[in-house]
Chains A and B, each alone.
Chain A
Amino acid sequence: MNFSKFLAGKLLLTSELPLTKPTIDYLFRTNQSKQLPSITTKYGRHQCNRCGNRNQQLFADIPCARCDHPHLYCRNCIQTGRVLQCDILIVWNGSKPAWPLQTQPCHWTGTLTPPQQKAADAIEQTIEYKQKELLIWAVCGSGKTEMLFPAITKAITESKRICIATPRADVVRELFPRLKQAFPDTEIEALYADSPDRTDKGQLIISTTHQLIRYQEAFDVMIIDEIDAFPFHHDKTLAYLTTRACKKDATSIYLTATPRPEHKQKISHKKLPVQFVPIRFHGQPLPIPQLKIEINLRKKLQKGTESKALQQFLTTRPESRQLLIFVPKIPLLKKVAERYQAIAVHAEDPDRKEKVEQFRQKKIDILVTTTILERGVTFPSVDVVILDAGHHVFDEAALVQIAGRAGRSPDDPGGNVLFIHQGKTNAMEDAIAQIKMMNKKGKKL
């Protein structure tokens, strides 16, 4: 049997390896696999070789009943399986996997808009010339998945291995069927916690970043969706895992609608190549947020009294559209929802999925929410209001993302975006400037 498809590019605990002990021993004996220590200690400092953790507070002692000794385990990566110090990590050392030759792997029959095509070409060339990285700065609603198809096609015909990594499992679940349809003859895997679509032999892998913990030097092409949503600055583990999963000469493609300051800076210093997709797939400009100041807004929200600006907006807004109201904090949700006969939803809401689905089916007219609905979710025809847009949770990226919920459908590309605030912030100004810049770029096309 050829194990290379299952094991190449992986870094696995013995418990994660679906092979019998004699088979594993055979692989070691024939030098097709190598073993690494799971936790190593240098100068008194421990390191987990599975997740890269070096934070000493995240190592703990366990009186291990397997080896009858007390020793360390890693708490940093325990959500994806426990690393005991007496365990080993298994890596592949045998032949390279041979992916089936395909000359025309892509069965998608749609066409790309000219701006999409331009971005698709740029991605393809970046991979072709084995360049290190490219950032695609594409506005909300630009249709980024389709833009990836030409590059994925190219990579498959060259027998390359591709990963699409995203911070959210929802996105993995959404992309998986679309990619399976577009590339029906390619082995595709969807990886998230408890995923049923894990085959362990994918050439194209759609994965949450956390699941990359089982890969090492696996991918020729790494596509990172929503690079700005990665909590990279809080959690070094995810950046480490993404880098480790790439082969040495891999190409990374970053997708974002709202790049973080560090990426913007790299772009302006020409240290990071960028390709803009400044216009939506339907060709209409992004709605520009309107600002409305209201004295004592925070006090009013706190007390549950009405916001004049919102009241005024409600009397004038078109009835054909639904309304999304964003508030900065969970405690405000209920107060606002009660006043406007709306439904409230937040991140830890057990009925979150149902409520969002009801809104999608237009069974709910007004949905009040915190920043959880700022990205990813698409409703065809909504107006958007932020109450207290000056609150610090609404940074530039969040404001651009929230404004990006409006006008998604070609049938109703307008949509009102209203920021109600009690004092204009830099974030609001920068967000509006960013939206205007994109619209200007879009016009020039």
Chain B
Amino acid sequence: MCLSLGCSSPHNPLNCIVPPHMLRVMALRGDDKTARMARSLLKQNAALRDERAEHVSPPPPAQDGGTFAPHAVSPAEGLCCPDRRIHDGDGKAALPGRLVRAEGDDATGDADVDLAYDGAGQVFSLFADEYGRNSLDGAGMPLIATVRHRRNYNNAFWNGDQMAYGTGDGEVFRTFLELSVIGHEMAHGVIQHSGGLIYENQSGALNESIADVFGALSLQRSLGQQIHDADWLVGRGILGPGINGVALRSMKAPGTAYADDLLGQDPQPWHMDHFVTTTEDNGGVHINSGIPNHAFYLFCNYIGGKSWELPGQVWYRALQQLNNPMASFQQWADQTMDAVTAIAGRGTIEAVLLRRAWKLVGIAI
């Protein structure tokens, strides 16, 4: 691989020794000096690849038994490193606010800012190193985030262009800067740029579930956790100190994340028999997401190992190929079956176990 990039920098031995995926890790996790060097090498490698590409014919289309959806992103050429831009909202609603940490800047010592920066790097790394995706849009878009959005704001969101995190009011929520939450919001960006899932009813609950899945994978991967060691919680520790609950949602046991006098009982179902029909929350998108969430958890639990590897690849591929913004749970389940067949093969144990996972939540495929 190194040879294909060309060894044009004799003064930089790393360029010909360290493969790009390791450079990306160094760019994200190394100390300031190492990270700067790794970023510079990656940029140099990308430029060299572009230069080479001008002199070669494009490769033939992939023959993988299926055509990618129009919005699918091919594994990125020139995939380099994130371009993070963290802003401070100063308690106001205007976005993005004041730029406080740009890519490559030293840590600020402000916990919210540094968590947003580091978290964005972890999520970028998940999509880049595991699935070959260059940022949320697949084309290297900057990762813009605002911390301290509004005042006592009990929410975090993706607005189509950037992430925004409130501080919480200190009573119901104490923070939103937790890696599964950051991964969730950024995954909304990936979903948007993968053809989208309309944010209401079943397609909206799928949008929410896929965001939870990649939020959980971001966290587990950053901790190096095996499937059976993970807690499968989304938003662990973000609830206020007086709230009786461990997290916002549980993929392992939907409906059990909290039970509190103020918040009531976690309303998530894990089976289609308990699907909630409501006009609130865009048709219960944060409620019914418990069903596909649990199917993903069950699949991981059967397979074992690392969730971001085969299970994550299956979910990512299914998202890339879906091409149906109004997909139902059934259609999504079918798409994941197509994906596992393409990745692991027809009739394999992985395909059998995925079918079993969907069946257990009440979806027959």
Indicate whether A and B interact: no
Q: Please list the residues of chain B having a beta carbon within 8 angstroms of any beta carbon in chain A.
A: none
Q: Please list the residues of chain A having a beta carbon within 8 angstroms of any beta carbon in chain B.
A: none
